[in-house]
Amino acid sequence: MSIETTKPLRADAARNRQLVLKAALDTFASEGLGVPLDEIARRAGVGAGTIYRHFPTKDDLFRAVIGSLLADIVADGRAMLHEPEPGEALFRFLRLLILHWGADNQGLVDAFATVGLDWGSAGPVAEEEFLVLLGDLLRAAQDAGNARAEITPLEVKTLMIGCQAMQGYNAALAESVTEVVLNGMRPRSA
Amino acid sequence: MSIETTKPLRADAARNRQLVLKAALDTFASEGLGVPLDEIARRAGVGAGTIYRHFPTKDDLFRAVIGSLLADIVADGRAMLHEPEPGEALFRFLRLLILHWGADNQGLVDAFATVGLDWGSAGPVAEEEFLVLLGDLLRAAQDAGNARAEITPLEVKTLMIGCQAMQGYNAALAESVTEVVLNGMRPRSA
DNA sequence: CACTATACGGAACGCACGCCCCGCTTTGTC
DNA sequence: GACAAAGCGGGGCGTGCGTTCCGTATAGTG
């Protein structure tokens, strides 16, 4: 293993790299991960070959985009832990993730729903961090008596993915069905 | 509009039609709706052209298969309404649908999750009937005080689709997260 | 300003899949 | 058993998409 020697990019190369990342962010968000690379190239105003020089495969591009998104999301979640009422933070975070992030970003939904996608390994934030955050939020909620004790972080993630699927099926009902699911996480007698 | 004049099939044609339907049932179940038609043809032991003679498009084949499946499912649900404890029938039906039917049949899950798929029009049972059944089960549960009053049949369907997505993401957690969702449908104070 | 390494664009390739076509086979009938 | 109609198989076409290739353009350097 040698040290990371990121050799300096030529000016146009660096510029195009940013154009591609920006276009990929927008395109994955609006069209989902299934979008053809040509469409991203078109929106970025570059050729398909240029994308492949910077990101050897489509997955690499996707990881770069989603990884940085996930970093923002985790940051939001961590901040919520330190607001008043940390026992409600889990529910606020899940609503934010499903109704705000998920509704505006099909690519993110696709990424969460795809099983066995090691999207963390190349992104700024590993998927593992997301699970740790969920665990922290969950524990805070459980300590406050707002969430059932037997629920695990992985179950919370699974429930969130289910809520995103519900939203994808019927966006108009997203809010109400999400509340049903969140209610199911609360203790029976609260 | 003329009356339905299903002209008698030749013996080999009728036999192949059944082979195709059987192979399609198995293949859609194990591989999902995305499976190539060639795979179904291979399993049925016929050529691709033979499938297209009986079912003009892949969608037609899918509708024939899923439509009959849906008929079985609706029959199961109707039966549950007449068992003792009709107020619990909704929950029993949803568990059956998610943990039994959904777990064994990826094609069915795909069919439910695909928005705007008019799978009822050509099958024995219209999707509409499924919603009506859900409505009947839901009303029985609400009358018994087992389900929240503000929930609608379409919300129940949406929640079911979400549960199937959860199962697809993590089959090991399917049972526990489904219970969380079902709990969310129950009144707060029960 | 010349020169080279670097990067660019988009045509082209390989592959997968839905669907069609057509020469050959099988079925049912007289 | 002969003959027409019905059916069959699977090769082939069109399309879409990920990826590669290579001739051309451009940034950086002395």
Question: Does residue B21 contact residue B65 with C-beta atoms inside 8 Å?
Answer: yes
Instruction: Write out the DSSP string of A81-150.
Output: HTSS-HHHHHHHHHHIIIIIIIHH-HHHHHHHHSTT--TTTTSSS-HHHHHHHHHHHHHHHHHTT-S-TT
Q: What is the DSSP letter of A148?
A: -
Write down the pTM of the prediction.
0.92
Rounded CA gap, A102 and B1, in Å? 47
Half-sphere exposure of B90 (CA within 13 A, CB side): 33
pLDDT at A121: 53
B104-158, pLDDT tens digit by residue? 999 999 999 998 766 655 444 578 899 999 999 999 999 999 999 999 999 999 9
Instruction: Give the pLDDT band (50/70/90) at residue A125.
Output: low
For strand C, list residues 74-113 of chain B whose Cβ lies within 7 Å of it: none
* Ordered alpha helix ranges (H), chain B: 11-31, 37-44, 48-54, 58-81, 86-95, 103-104, 106-113, 127-143, 153-169, 174-185
Whole-number Å distance between alpha carbons of A160 and A111: 13
Interface of A with B (CB under 8 A): 113, 115, 148, 150-151, 154-155, 158-159, 161-166, 168-170, 173, 176-177, 179-185, 188, 190
What number of C-beta contacts closer than 8 Å exist between A and B?
95
Q: Which nucleotides of C are covered by protein (CB under 7 A)?
A: 6-12, 16-22, 26-28
Best probe of the A interface among B151, B159, B161, by most A CBs < 10 A, is B159
Residue B122: per-residue pLDDT: 44
Shortest Cα distance, chain A CAs vs residue B23, angstroms: 27
Pick from A164, A184, A188: CB nearest B181: A184
Angle at B48 between CA B47 and CA B54, to 5 degrees: 100
Q: Is a pLDDT exceeding 80 seen at residue A112?
A: yes
Place of tokens 């059956």: B96
> Which nucleotide's C1' is closest to B50 (Cα)?
D8
In angstroms, the Cα distances linking B31 to A3, A156, B26, B34, B40 are 44, 27, 8, 7, 10
**Strand D at less than 7 A from CB of B36:** no
CA distance B33 to B114: 10
Q: What φ, ψ does residue B57 adopt, rounded to 5°?
A: -135, 165
CA-based torsion, A127, A169, B70, B98: positive or negative: positive
Give the dihedral sign, CA B96/B97/B98/B101: positive
B168 contacts A155? CB cut-off 8 A: no
Q: For residue B33, what are its two tokens?
A: 């709706």
How far off is chain B from A166, nearest CA to CA, in Å?
A: 5
How far is it, in rounded angstroms, from Cα B31 to Cα B104?
10
Say if residues B136 and B147 touch (Cβ distance below 8 Å): no
Q: What pLDDT score was predicted for residue B189?
A: 76
DSSP character for B102? I
Considering CB atoms only, which of B115, B151, B165 is closest to A113? Answer: B165
Q: How far apart are CA B174 and CA B189, in angstroms?
A: 25
| A90 contacts A146 by C-beta, under 8 angstroms | yes
> In whole angstroms, how far apart are CA A2 and each of A5, A6, A13?
8, 11, 24
Number of CB atoms found within 10 A of residue A78's CB = 16
pLDDT tens readout for residues A5-35:
677 889 999 999 999 999 999 999 999 999 9
Q: Would you say residue A190 has pLDDT above 60?
A: no
Work out the minimum CA distance from B183 to partner chain A, whole angstroms.
5
Measure CB to CB from residue A165 to each of B165, B170, B188 and give the nearest one: B165
Output the six-digit token pair for A106: 């099909």
- Model confidence at B36: pLDDT above 60: yes
Place of tokens 């993630």: A157
